[in-house]
Amino acid sequence: MGIIQDELAHAHIGYRLMEDLGVDKEQLIYGRKPEEFKYPYAFDVPLDSWVELVVANAFYDRAGYVLLEDVFTHSTFGPWKRALVKVDREENFHLRHGETWMRKIIEEPGGRERLQRAVDWMFPLTVEWFGLPDALKKHTVQLDYGFKGASNDTLRQIWMSTAVPLCGELGLRVPAHYDYDVQQKKYVLDFPFPSEFDAEAKRWLFEKGSTTWDAVLKRWKARGPKNKEFVGEVQRGHRELQ
């Protein structure tokens, strides 16, 4: 419940900053169609167990922390930078909550297997979180204006630099490894990237080989299986009031 409260506060901060810049906050929250929301695709794939929620804290909140820490470090927009002092601390708490419970679950009978099933689909989904590879990125306005300091691929590497060792410590398999070759010295993915994802079955179709980023963008734009339901719950009270 504390994490839910934190996340609602983070949303309020972002929407309030937009409102201060003249954007219609009510329209953004209650007037948009579910598919018009621009949050990460992973949030439209439901978490069906405590184990999946814990792994989401350890993976997704870690990704959020990496992204927002970069903005906090490099942003020249004062109101957002000041707000991120609070947000960064809370995201750090969320990811530590996930780590703590992964360590507890691993000790339970069958805990490692339950965690592994969640990691199998959630690790690649978080790798995808950071967006198009740098070579395909066409819009660099956030970097150009100093809103963020690191590129998509750099942020992906920063995330893996802590997520992969965490899983290694717990004896969980992830499809990535660190390449110590002088030419590399970075984390390398051991699966076709990008790949097709069956969101209903929560399974990656690695056996089909790599797909195209156009196909991934089409999936992102179509949103995940719970998009309408989740956004609908946010907007339901407003509709009933109207």
Residue 78 domain flag: yes
Kindly state the DSSP code that residue 27 receives in the 8-state scheme. I
Residue 34 domain flag: no
157-202 confidence digits (pLDDT tens): 999 999 999 999 999 999 999 998 766 789 999 999 999 999 999 9
pLDDT of 78 > 70? The answer is yes
Phi, then psi, of 102 in degrees rounded to 5: -65, -40
**What is the per-residue pLDDT for 219?**
96
Residue 146 banded pLDDT, cuts 50, 70, 90: confident
Which structural domain, as residue segments, surrounds residue 76?
A: 2-23+41-234
Residue 32 domain flag: no
Residue 148 banded pLDDT, cuts 50, 70, 90: confident
DSSP H or E stretch at residue 178? strand 176-179
State the average pLDDT for the chain: 94
Query: What does the pLDDT average to over 11-35?
Result: 94
Kindly state the DSSP code that residue 153 receives in the 8-state scheme. H
- Least-confidence region, from 11-25, 92-106, 136-150: 136-150
Calculate the CA 34 to chain-centre distance: 18
Counted residue by residue, the chain has a size of 242
Residue partners of 142: CB distance under 8 A and separation at least 6:
148
Contact 153, 187 (CB under 8 A): no
**What is the per-residue pLDDT for 182?**
63
Residue 183 domain flag: yes
Residue 240 domain flag: no
pLDDT of 240 > 90? The answer is yes
Domain count of the fold of the chain: 1
**What is the per-residue pLDDT for 181?**
79
112, amino acid identity:
R
Residue recorded with tokens 């927002």? 68
pLDDT of 213 > 70? The answer is yes
Cis previous bond, 194, omega within 30? yes
Residue recorded with tokens 């690695």? 206
Express as a percent the part of the chain with pLDDT over 90.
Answer: 87
Express as a percent the part of the chain with pLDDT over 70.
Answer: 99
Residue 30 domain flag: no
- Residue 214 belongs to a domain with what CATH number? 1.20.1260.10
Residue 241 domain flag: no
82-114 confidence digits (pLDDT tens): 999 999 999 999 999 999 999 999 999 999 999
CA distances from 132 to 42, 76, 141, 154 (A): 15, 24, 15, 12
**What is the per-residue pLDDT for 233?**
94
Residue 163 domain flag: yes
Give me 225's structure tokens: 């299986």
Query: What does the pLDDT average to over 153-158?
Result: 96
